[in-house]
Amino acid sequence: MSSFPALRMRRGRSSPWMREMLAENRLHPSDFILPMFVCEGSGCEEPIASLRGVSRWSVDRLAERAREAARLGIPCVALFPNTPARLRTDDAAEALNPDNLICRGIRAIKDAVPQIGILTDVALDPYTSHGHDGLTDDRGCVVNDATVEMLVRQAVVQAAAGADIVAPSDMMDGRVGAIRSALEQDGHCDVAIMAYAAKYASAFYGPFRDAVGSKGLLKGDKRSYQMDPANGFEAIREVELDLAEGADMVMVKPGLPYLDVLARVKDTFGVPTFAYQVSGEYAMIEAAAEAGAADRDALILETLMAFKRAGATGVLTYHALDAARLING
């Protein structure tokens, strides 16, 4: 075994070209999925206070953003609706409306930017009056099987509108298999499923709930369906189940605080594994930069590289446009 002074690790870091040549991972715009928020109205851009730099866009302005993403080399966008309060009900009926914000958003983007992929969230929280991802019983508990029936119908409605990937983010049991068979039955065999397989009950979702307008509505918390941050092995079981039920790709969420889970999932299954760098992580980076505590561009690139190093196939990130611009130079 040769060691110092014969072996000097710094030789490999000695110049920019050497570092470039020896880099184990590289960021590319195709690593990113851009989440976008959709609102009612026309010609609207609504800045989101807790997510500085991110806005909700009305359907007629959504395609501009998607076109910019495509131009930068981003392969896919993820859509989330800010459903008007009057359309939020206990039974989340608006989730099944083929003309809801999401379906109109899908069609607008498909029309204008057919080359970009569209991922949609399957969960009821943007449509319920209580802000939970599912239907609740009279004690306010989220009921699994009745919720799954709704999610199945919601996924089929999104697929019919043109979604390329449906992404159940609700954490109900058995929903991936139920959605897969409904999609097959309905002729949507090309629509893929990205399962939010290991989704933790996290404080990092705060700004997102503000963005979709469910923040003030949520009664209680989501700990009876989203995972306990204490658990790592349980994530492996969740992923195993979702894959067995027909998930094409899986996701770990949040991102940076759960890199250990991401790496374990990727190393265990070797399937397409995505990370969601969630709204609270975005807000944390922005706040650090704003406070002058660190360089914003460097934080963006370093955190995204961390996902790649941990084994991520790609990352859902609100910094997708910024990152792609930085990478493209």
Could you give the residue numbers annotated as active site? 199, 253
Check binding of 154 to ligand PBG (CB under 6 A): no
Question: Which residue of 123, 179, 235, 275 would you call a contact of ligand PBG, by CB under 6 A?
Answer: 123
Q: Is the dihedral of CA 129, 133, 138, 144 positive or negative?
A: positive
Whether the CB-CB separation of 247 and 193 falls below 8 Å is answered with: yes
Minimum distance from residue 100 beta carbon to ligand PBG (Å):
15
Q: Which amino acid is at 294?
A: A
Please identify which residue in the block is written with the tokens 């379906």: 103
Residue nearest to ligand PBG (CB): 208
By CB under 6 A, residue 83 contacts ligand PBG? no
Verify binding: residue 279, ligand PBG, rule CB under 6 A: yes
322 lines the binding site for ligand PBG (CB under 6 A): no
What is the footprint of ligand PBG within residues 168-187 (CB under 6 A)?
169-170
Structure tokens at 74: 């981003």
Q: Which residues pair with 81 in a beta bridge?
A: 38
- End-to-end, the C-alpha distance of the chain in Å comes to 42
Indicate left, alpha or beta for 173 from its phi (over 0: left) and psi (-120 to 50: alpha): beta
Q: Residue 46, annotated ligand binder?
A: no
Tokens of 323: 């990152």
Among 32, 37, 200, 208, binds ligand PBG (CB under 6 A): 208
Stretch that binds ligand PBG, among 82-90, 177-185, 186-194, 202-210 (CB under 6 A): 202-210
Q: Interface with ligand PBG includes 238 (CB under 6 A)?
A: no
Backbone angle region of 37, left / alpha / beta, with phi > 0 → left and psi within -120 to 50 → alpha: beta
CA-wise closest residue to 310 among 16, 80, 70, 25: 25
Residue choice 278, 310, 312, 321 for contact with ligand PBG (CB under 6 A): 278
Q: Contact between 286 and ligand PBG (CB under 6 A)? A: no
Tell me which of 94, 133, 242, 286 binds ligand PBG, using CB under 6 A. Answer: 133
Instruction: Confirm or reject binding of residue 163 to ligand PBG (CB under 6 A).
Output: no
Asked if residue 32 binds ligand PBG (CB under 6 A), the reply is: no
Q: Which stretch binds ligand PBG (CB under 6 A): 54-62, 104-112, 203-211, 232-240?
A: 203-211
Which of 56, 175, 209, 264 binds ligand PBG (CB under 6 A)? It is 209
The CB-of-33 to ligand PBG minimum distance in angstroms stands at: 12
* DSSP codes joined into one string, 154-188: HHHHHHHHT-SEEEE-S--TTHHHHHHHHHHHTT-
Work out how close the CB of 51 gets to ligand PBG at its nearest, in angstroms, rounded to a whole number: 8
**Distance separating alpha carbons of residues 128 and 24, to the nearest angstrom:** 45
Give every CB contact of residue 147 below 8 A, 6+ residues apart in sequence.
Answer: 124, 133, 134, 135, 170, 172, 175
Residues forming contacts to ligand PBG in the complex (CB under 6 A) are 121, 123, 125, 133, 169-170, 205, 208-209, 222, 278-279
Known binding residues are 238
Known binding residues for Mg(2+) are 238
